[in-house]
Every structure is written in C-alpha cells, then in structure tokens.
Amino acid sequence: MIAGRFLLRERLGRGSMAEVFRAVDVAGGPDVAVKVAADNSDKHHWRIHNEARVLASLRHPSIVRFIDQGVMPAGTYRPGHAFMVEELALGTSLSEAVRSDRHSADAVAVWARSIFSGLAHLHTAGLVHRDIKPGNLMLSGLRRSPVRVIDFGIAAVAGTAPEPGISSGTVHYMSPEQAAGGVADPAWDIYAMGLVLLELLTGSKAFPGTAVESLVARTLRSPHIPESLGPRWHHFLSSLTAMESGERPTADVASAMAARLVPPAPAASPILRGAPRLRLAAAAAGCALPR
C-alpha cells in the first residue's frame, strides 16, 4: 500500500530515471499513475521530488494533476525509493501518434492550442519544462484539454543555469541556446513545440541523424518547413522555431495563433439543436418521439 490508499497494478512504462505504474485507489477514487525512481541515488530522488514540487504548484486542464509523493515503504516494490502519485493520463502519447501516421492540420492545430495553453500557465509560474517532445504529450480524448503535458522531472525556474549532472532536454527537440547550455528560458519550450508540430504534420524529424548531427544542424539553420503546409502554418512554425529566442512568441500568443488555425465548428440546424432537449423531455414524461 502506497500513501495509505494506492495499490500498484501493471507497469505502464520504464525509463532510465523512473518506472510508471497504474495504481488502484482503495478509497474509491479513479486509478492513478505512480512514478517510482529507478534508483535510490540522490539524482533519482531529486528528479522525483522536483517534479512533485513543480506539479503541486500548477493547476491547469492541459497539465497532469499532482496527488501525493513520498518514499516507498518497507515490504513494497523498491522500498526506500522516491515515488510520486499523479493523475493518470489516459490515451496514447504523440510519439505513438507520429509513428502511426501524419496528422491533419486541423487536428494538430487543436492539439497545439491545448498544449500552448498549458505551457502559458507553466511559464506564468516562472517555470520552464525543458523537455517538450512527443513522448511527453499525451492525447486525452477530452474536448477541453485534448492533450496533457507530462514529465516535469527536469523543469526549472526560468533564468537558472543547468545543474551539474542533470540532463537537460532531448537532443532532437532542443533549441539552439538550450543545446549550448544557456540558462532556462520559456522560449526553449516554444522552439521544441515548433519541432513537435512540424514532425506531426510531416511525419519526419526536423533535424534527423545522430545526436551530434542534429545539434550542429540547428545551430546553422532553421528547420525546413514545406510550402505545402500553406502560408499560415508556414508563418506559425517559422515564428516558433526562430533562431533568435527573442523572436519567438510567448506561449499565450502561440496558443492564440494556433486557435486561429482551428477550423470553426459546423453550426447545427435549429431542428437538430432542439432535438436532444425535446427527446430528454419526452423521455422524462414517459413518451416516445417519432424518428
């Protein structure tokens, strides 16, 4: 039993820093995700506790919700290892979505609006995610927050230098200045999102190759954005991936830009709009409507 109420079930994922399990809430709440440090080292404990501290300070529909943290008790899996309990992000990650196919610009625009809204909340709190990539963005299937941002293990206060021994980001999505080891900047997350969106739309990484090849390429040029995506998407992606960090939009501006790329919902006819309410009233009265 973890935190007095959670029982581990199947493993959902495993990385170099932690394992993630689905857990049952014996108090009757929904299932949760439990992240357990892969090692008992100070580095692994720091990452779990850092993520817990960051998530506990945030409250946004596009960011997974923090629930609890602690140390695995004796008699359980990995006793003495740090753990964190968070909202279970159901659905697949965008890394799986990228592998399956390219995606329509309309769907990607909806996802972008949701993600940038969450990043705006994070940046307003003075924090930088530092590891925005498809694997840390989960499809939820919810209209209000179709994508959830996860894994805040290396999130940092804006303006702070990288910590010795703590990795910062994923090579294929780093901004040029993040790759150079500068101080944490919200513009890093914006650039990374530009590369994520470009990959979703084209099905290919903007800077492929080895880690060294990828890092060198982005310091020499901006990513290639196909003209076939259209002028509005070309402008949006170009601004997100500008070589100079000061030329990139803030997350709230980027969310508004993405919203303008979302097609308007088709208007329902007056008859269709009234039908559900009419059927509900008829059902309450024990009647049936002709179909």
Distance (Å, rounded) from C-alpha 59 to C-alpha 117?
12
CA–CA distance, 228 with 170 (Å, rounded to integer): 28
- Choose among 121, 193, 136: nearest CA to 20: 136
* Ramachandran category for residue 227: left, alpha or beta (phi over 0 → left; psi -120 to 50 → alpha): alpha
Which of 39, 68, 101, 131 is catalytic? The answer is 131
Does the active-site annotation cover 131?
yes
Consult the annotation and say whether 133 binds a ligand: no
Residues counted in the chain? 291
Q: Distance between CA atoms of 202 and 175, rounded to whole angstroms? A: 19
CA distances (Å), 108 to each of 104, 194, 236, 252, in order?
6, 11, 12, 17
- Binding residues, by number, are 35
Catalytic residues: 131
- Binding residues for ATP, by number, are 35
